[in-house]
Amino acid sequence: MSALSNIDTWKEYVENNCGVKQPVNLNEVIDPLDDVDEITEIETERENTPRTNLVREASTAANVIVITYDLLLSRVAGMWSGDDYEQFKLKSDEKDYYQDAWANYLAEKNIEMSPGLMLIVATLLLTIPRLIDANKIRKEKKQQETQENIINEQDTEIKHLKKKLNERKSSEV
């Protein structure tokens, strides 16, 4: 048997067990947005703590580190293998994992990277791949030129040998 079976109404239960003698208005709704300004203020304060700022800066620095690593790894692996470097780039989930690891490490060790250093790294990130590509194109052109020279020399030699062969045939006849 339920504890409520001897009680006639909900109102009687509340009055007897909760010490409430006033009628309960069930139509009143608590508006969760009443304290939005206070919550926003707390969140803003939380967002501007030294620790939060350090984590945000560490995340930015970690992003630069991971992009640099990805660029260097893929380009060096591509040059070493002789294949396209794109296949050696980090996958999205690998980048995210590696970036989180770096951000946590930098924040934990309280390591800050200066904006000037990040600017230098970003400049190198944009410059180095283009220099590598330009060097690759230069080598390919030089190799093609060398091959064309070899072909021309061989063609000249073949023509010279044909001429000698024709002269011998003419002199024998």
Q: Assess whether pLDDT exceeds 90 at residue 162.
A: yes
- Comparing 145 with 110, the larger pLDDT belongs to 145
Read off the pLDDT of each residue in 116-140 and give the average, rounded to a whole number: 86
- The pLDDT > 70 percentage for the chain reads 70
- Comparing 58 with 9, the larger pLDDT belongs to 58
Tell me the residue ranges of DSSP E strands in 4-104: none
Answer whether 124's CB lies under 8 Å from 72's CB.
no
Residues 64-74: tens digit of each pLDDT = 889 889 988 88
Q: Assess whether pLDDT exceeds 90 at residue 173.
A: no
Q: Where do the structural domains in the chain lie, given as residue ranges? A: 49-115
Read off the pLDDT of each residue in 31-47 and give the average, rounded to a whole number: 56
Answer whether 98's CB lies under 8 Å from 90's CB.
yes
Q: What is the DSSP letter of 149?
A: H
C-alpha span between 79 and 73 (Å, rounded): 10
Rg (CA), the chain: 39
C-alpha span between 9 and 2 (Å, rounded): 14
